[in-house]
Structure 1
């Protein structure tokens, strides 16, 4: 049945007008909020590496198509182009919902108010409207032919973009972060009324904090941050000239140490009584405790004052194993190799993350190197300006360094790194009021995703500790709990591991004082 020419013309004109209104509105919206649109494209798992080009190209094409739709001479070609573009948008959403690792935010403009599935229905309607115009202008056979050809080309284009984007993101990441939904959300907070507190450890049931200014005072919270208990540590010896006591909890034990006075205390959290288990002739600048009878320290060579790592066994006979090749010198071997030390109790892996370059190192508990991984920023060499004080011979920072990675935490196979550098397509205003956490899988050697920790009452994050359930944070005088969502929990290699399983050795091991 053929439609009267008048009705046919009205339908064609109406569809063209709808396309013009849609494309003009969408394009203008994108240009007016260009930075946000570019950021959203940068977060797309399909279009990440093409965000720069597409941010200009897509709205420009929409404007061009809208113009040609209003010119009768070029209307047919504009209808082809408009329908094809809407088909690309439709395939893009189908792929986002069914074939990608996460679903990003919407694309801005009129579609920003719609969810992805509503967005999909909206696009399908406009594809059908475009095909209706082609049908009215060119007939059934031509419409079927152009649909098959255009559909095949559209799917091939988007699938190729997806595969290329995934390869580049995982193998040659150009400093683009992925921030999917369902990563981590703040579920609890408490005002500590003290800015010198830090997290010493956590389990599935409890969070342990102490005060830098009163290091023998311990505060234990439940994981809802509701109930608090206060304890005072009792030392079996107090005849050392400590400068900066620190505490770490590796349940059921706690450890006290001061690297400038190389003495290590150990006790049980059940009674908070500490005994000296090691007294050394050499200082150390950081330490982790893989188990009840072993610790890994960072110290300095006595001749060149360069950082080195050593695994120390404090069992029946004392054994010190130094590995001087783990930390790699770039400038001075001291400042340029500075970094954080973490230990995965679930995997029995030690992880060292440099402060001033984009590298982390994974070893076993005996400091046997497994591999060197890279964080996603591009700072491969430490940017430091050093000066040597003639009178004392000490090295000092002559200018503020470029800090690449600041705080780190680890849980199971996931290394959480607080990066200090803003990546591409990241909102500047958000960056000013939040701390970014990048998540790496130390088993697969890959970057996984990122999420923000927003400043609490103007205070940024200054200390953190991760369990399989949550990331605990101290920001100013607040203690925060960011609970991990399904997007992070799905990355764990062992889903049955909980924070409570970090009980390295529930049986207390009594040790006499030993020399390193």
Structure 2
């Protein structure tokens, strides 16, 4: 079947005109909302690492193609290139829908109301239009050759970008977060009408809150954040030089302790009466309870006051297993090794997250080092300034420190870290009204995903407690419950858990 030259000319002209409209609108839309376009590429599970380059290259290529499509001499060549570009976009969407760990929100710009599948159909229509022009121009044999070469080249290019981007994200993440849908969302809230509460513990049925001012009061709230009860804690002996008493609840036991006084109490949640289990005056500045008799403490060396970790067994007589190598000194050994101490009852692992550098430590219950992992930011050394008071010899922070990781919590194999640093391609408006929680697998030492905790009535997150079904958060006077979505639940793995621990 012969096709007249006028039909070919008209079809080429129409195809060129459609591509000109498409690429002009697409490029201008991207450039007018460039930051949002770059953020969307940064959230892509395929191209995160290359978002900076691609966000500039794509609109530039589209505008160059528009220019060549306008020039009759280069119009057919430009349609060849346009067809190849639309094929790349098509392969990208196919990979997104079928081979990535999550499907991000579809990009804005051109046809922003369309979802990924609708975009796929739209792109394929333009690819088909380009193939028809190529067939009419050079014939079916030429089409088959170009399709084979272009298809192989385009698919290889997109798959190569995908694999290399994923490899870099896993091994040397350049501070790019991923916010897939279905991670976590606020499902309940309770106005506590007081900003002094902290989370003392969570069990299968209840949330336990302590109060920094009413130090011997415990508040019990059900998991739906509805019913609330209050009890007073009674201590067996109070002849200690207390500075601040903190409460912790684990299972059917509760603990009251004051690190400065070096005293620890234990009691039953059935009557809230506590007896002394340690009064040996071993001062500590943080503590994690392993089981009924064992704890891990963070204390200081007597000579240089650098922080160290120790396991303390107190069933009959106090026994210490000290590891002074776990916390690594960078500047002073005290401020620069400050952090949050967690214990995973599911895996019998201690996880310590530094406040001022991008590192966390995983050790077994006897403080044997298993791994030093990194959070995804790039702050490898603590940025703090220390001053020494001449009269007393005390050291103080001479300026506000550069805080990297503020809060943390563990559940199953997951480590949740409240990072204070904004990553690449993150919307500043969102960042100004929310804090971020990064989720890691502390058994495979990989970053998994992130989600936002939005400020509630203007209050930022100040306390975090992770459980198997939700993250409990205190923001100002509010207790919030963030239920996990399937994206987080699917990442959880369990070893043999103690009875009733899950």
- Into which bin does the TM-score normalised by the smaller protein fall? over 0.9
Normalised by the length of structure 1, the TM-score is 0.94
Paired position in structure 2 for 1:411 = 411
Identify the structure with bigger relative contact order (alpha carbons < 8 Å, sequence gap 6+): 1
Paired position in structure 2 for 1:101 = 101
Decide whether the 8 Å contact of 1:204 with 1:469 is kept in 2. no
More moved, 312-321 vs 460-469:
312-321
Decide whether the 8 Å contact of 2:346 with 2:495 is kept in 1. no
Equivalent runs, 1:68-467 vs 2, <5 Å: 68-467=68-467
d(CA) in 2 for partners of 1:328 and 1:123? 54
d(CA) in 2 for partners of 1:468 and 1:123? 42
| DSSP-derived class of the 1:51 partner | helix
Alpha-carbon shift at residue 13 of structure 1 (Å): 2.3
Alpha-carbon shift at residue 280 of structure 1 (Å): 2.1
Alpha-carbon shift at residue 201 of structure 1 (Å): 1.1
Decide whether the 8 Å contact of 1:204 with 1:467 is kept in 2. no
| DSSP-derived class of the 1:113 partner | coil
d(CA) in 1 for partners of 2:104 and 2:130? 27
d(CA) in 2 for partners of 1:118 and 1:401? 49
The superposition leaves residues 319-375 of structure 1 with CA deviations (integer Å, 9 ceiling, x where unpaired) of 111111111111111111111100000000001111111111111111111111111
Alpha-carbon shift at residue 479 of structure 1 (Å): 0.7
Decide whether the 8 Å contact of 1:250 with 1:502 is kept in 2. no
d(CA) in 2 for partners of 1:474 and 1:25? 45
Decide whether the 8 Å contact of 1:468 with 1:497 is kept in 2. no
d(CA) in 2 for partners of 1:375 and 1:97? 28
Q: Which runs of 5+ in 2 are unaligned?
A: none
| DSSP-derived class of the 2:494 partner | coil
Normalised by the length of structure 2, the TM-score is 0.97
Number of corresponding residues: 502
Paired position in structure 2 for 1:502 = 501
| DSSP-derived class of the 2:270 partner | coil
Alpha-carbon shift at residue 204 of structure 1 (Å): 3.1
Instruction: Indicate whether 1:11 and 2:6 are aligned.
Output: no
| DSSP-derived class of the 1:125 partner | helix
d(CA) in 2 for partners of 1:102 and 1:111? 22
Alpha-carbon shift at residue 496 of structure 1 (Å): 8.9
Alpha-carbon shift at residue 120 of structure 1 (Å): 1.1
The superposition leaves residues 209-263 of structure 1 with CA deviations (integer Å, 9 ceiling, x where unpaired) of 1211112222222222122222222222233232211111111211111111111
| DSSP-derived class of the 1:291 partner | coil
Alpha-carbon shift at residue 6 of structure 1 (Å): 4.2
Decide whether the 8 Å contact of 2:12 with 2:76 is kept in 1. no
More moved, 121-130 vs 108-117:
108-117
The superposition leaves residues 40-92 of structure 1 with CA deviations (integer Å, 9 ceiling, x where unpaired) of 11111111111111111001111111221121111111101111111101100
Change (3 A) 1:115 1:447: same
The superposition leaves residues 409-437 of structure 1 with CA deviations (integer Å, 9 ceiling, x where unpaired) of 11011111111111111111111111111
d(CA) in 2 for partners of 1:419 and 1:4? 65
Alpha-carbon shift at residue 482 of structure 1 (Å): 0.8
More moved, 114-123 vs 473-482:
114-123
Q: Which runs of 5+ in 1 are unaligned?
A: 504-516
The superposition leaves residues 181-207 of structure 1 with CA deviations (integer Å, 9 ceiling, x where unpaired) of 111111111111110111111123221
Alpha-carbon shift at residue 122 of structure 1 (Å): 1.3
Paired position in structure 2 for 1:468 = 468
Alpha-carbon shift at residue 3 of structure 1 (Å): 4.0
d(CA) in 2 for partners of 1:190 and 1:112? 37
Decide whether the 8 Å contact of 1:434 with 1:453 is kept in 2. yes
d(CA) in 2 for partners of 1:484 and 1:496? 22
Alpha-carbon shift at residue 5 of structure 1 (Å): 4.3
